[in-house]
Amino acid sequence: MIPPRSALKKDKLASEYHRRKIDELGDPLLVLDKYVDFSALADTIDRVV
C-alpha cells in the first residue's frame, strides 16, 4: 500500500520550485486582477470585519 502524499513540501528548495512554476505558468492572481478590484474588496472586508 502506498502511503498518502502530503501536499506540503518539506524540501528547502520547495519555495524556489514554486516560484519557478509560477513564472513558468503565469501567476493566476495577475489574471484575476483583471476582473477583481482587490482594493475595493479589501475595503469592503475591512468595513464588515
Q: What is the pLDDT along the chain (49 residues), one digit of tens a residue?
A: 777 776 665 677 888 888 888 889 888 888 899 999 999 999 999 999 8
Per-residue pLDDT, 8: 64
> Does 28 reside within a domain?
yes
* Structural domain count of the chain: 1
Residue with cell 513558468: 24
Q: Could you tell me if residue 7 is inside a domain?
A: no
Number of Cβ atoms within 10 Å of the Cβ of 40:
9
What pTM was estimated for this model as a whole?
0.45
Stretch (H or E) spanning 49 = none
Torsion of CA 49, 37, 15, 9, to 10 degrees: 60
* 9 belongs to a structural domain: no
User: Structural domain of residue 38, as residue ranges?
Assistant: 14-48
